[in-house]
Structure 1
Amino acid sequence: MEMEGRAVPDSYAKHQAQHAELHGAFGADRFGAVSERVARFFGTPKYILGQTMIVIVWIALNGAAISFRWDPYPFILLNLAFSTQAAYAAPLILLAQTRQADRDKAHEEAAARHRDELANREHQMLDENTTLTEQVAKLAREIDTLTKMIHAQVCDGDG
């Protein structure tokens, strides 16, 4: 759809570009990029399977070890590792949710501005169309009047 030489999606992109700083989940800086990669990795099957394998190997080695057990049952060191991981994972996940909410709000506001702009363009085009229709009707009346005048002159000239 083309309006005034500009495509409608360009208008939408213009509104979205105003919030480019929110496009990364944690911001556009280096910390944000690394944090986002880590947070995304926490939810992957690769991570879950890898962690499961580490836990199985950890428990098997410590349970089967006869002489050296670096973390004997009840696996306090493993528990500490899980606690440390949770201490970092939870804030990263909360930060991701907060940033996603900010992005959603910004996108909704941009979409609302875009809808308003489209409604204004539609109203403007409707007004222009109405003006053109009125001009066409006026020209049609003038043509009708001129046709009648020419017809009258031709008919009077023959008589």
Structure 2
Amino acid sequence: MKTPHPLKSIDIAELARRHFGSTPDALEPEERRVLAGIARHTHLSRDVSDLADEQSGRWERLADRVAAIGGSWGFILSFTGVLVAWMVLNAGLLQLWHLAFDPYPFIFLNLMLSMLAAVQAPIIMMSQNRQAAKDRIAAAHDYEVNLKAELEIMRLHEKIDQLRIEHLETISRHQAEMLELLHSRIEPRPGAAPDAAGPAG
């Protein structure tokens, strides 16, 4: 386990005190990540889909694929074609040769449809739960990015104010030096004779 660099810890503690009036341990995990990013001068923007994939398993990603296929027009048209072919074969062509494996009223077809609905519904719910988790990750990520932008703007204002104060202090110092130089040139030198020229007349 690597020991954290002391400078980073000091920076994070100083940032937490300055911007939140608290210690890093008392902050939320998102706020600590933002302060760590500011201290290390790293960016926080990432693809939310990649973050969600890192926190999901193989079966959750499979549920997403199944839900995506089941909610497409390709699946609807294909499944409609299978149903129509099933009914035409069992109620027409195969019925003529007494080879229908599921004659009207298609009891086996109803059983297959019920099983498909029973399996597909939980898969769709799993995908919806995963989408809700993605939304929560996206909201937390947006909060971190917005918080870092706000803190960076505040730090930028502080730097600009500090530069402005230093600039004004430099101007004031130069003015004082110029006034002192001006007074030294205007004041008569010791021992110098005053101007003896008087009014004519």
Same fold (TM over 0.5): yes
> How does the TM-score come out when normalised to structure 1?
0.78
1:50 aligned to 60, 68, 78, which one?
78
Instruction: Tell me the SS of whatever aligns to 2:124.
Output: helix
Residue 28 of structure 1, CA deviation: 3.0
Taking structure 1 as reference, are residues 63 and 79 closer, same or farther at Cα in structure 2, changes over 3 Å only?
A: same
Instruction: Tell me the SS of whatever aligns to 2:46.
Output: helix
1:115 aligned to 143, 146, 149, which one?
146
User: For 1:22-37, what aligned pairs fall within 5 Å after superposition?
Assistant: 22-23=52-53, 27-29=56-58, 31-37=59-65
Higher deviation after alignment, 92-101 or 121-130: 121-130
Q: Over aligned residue pairs, what C-alpha RMSD do you find?
A: 3.0
Larger radius of gyration: 2
In 2, Cα distance between equivalents of 1:33 and 1:76? 34
Amino acid at match of 2:87: I
Residue 156 of structure 1, CA deviation: 6.7
2:116 aligned to 66, 74, 85, which one?
85
In 2, Cα distance between equivalents of 1:39 and 1:87? 14
Residue 32 of structure 1, CA deviation: 3.0
Residue 77 of structure 1, CA deviation: 1.0
In 1, Cα distance between equivalents of 2:39 and 2:175? 34
User: Which residue in 1 is equivalent to 2:134?
Assistant: 103
Residue 5 of structure 1, CA deviation: 9.6
In 1, Cα distance between equivalents of 2:137 and 2:40? 27
In 1, Cα distance between equivalents of 2:91 and 2:119? 28
